[in-house]
Amino acid sequence: MRRMTPPARVSQFERVLWWQATYLKDQPGAARVLKHWVRTRLTKGMTFGEACDRRGWSRPTAYRRRDEALAAISMGLARDRIARGLH
């Protein structure tokens, strides 16, 4: 059975997808790590640690880059005064 998503929620998802392009354009390394982290969260069968090993990334460094990316997005949202739930 298909799950129906309201149009407003779809629009919200689309805006969230642009956060990386908007807030991480000056941090391509952090953006790349975040992209792989999100992909492992959405895909069954692979952990972020395994993805790091596959790419030859140091796990601690990859986690720091992920945290930098999330912090940059958070600061960008705060700077743009986008309140939680109104994104």
Residue 87 pLDDT > 70: no
Residue 22 pLDDT > 80: yes
Residue 36 pLDDT > 90: yes
pLDDT in tens, 53-66: 999 999 999 999 99
CA within 13 Å, CB half, 22 = 13
Q: Does residue 84 lie in a domain region?
A: yes
Q: Does residue 83 lie in a domain region?
A: yes
Q: Does residue 70 lie in a domain region?
A: yes
pLDDT at 82: 81
pLDDT at 85: 66
Q: Which residues contact 52 (CB under 8 A, 6 or more apart)?
A: 58, 59, 62
Count of structural domains within the chain: 1
For residues 72 and 30, the answer to whether their CB atoms sit within 8 Å is yes
Q: Does residue 77 lie in a domain region?
A: yes
Owning domain of residue 38: 28-87
Residue 47 pLDDT > 90: yes
Q: Does residue 4 lie in a domain region?
A: no
Residue 14 pLDDT > 80: yes
Q: Does residue 12 lie in a domain region?
A: no
Q: Does residue 50 lie in a domain region?
A: yes
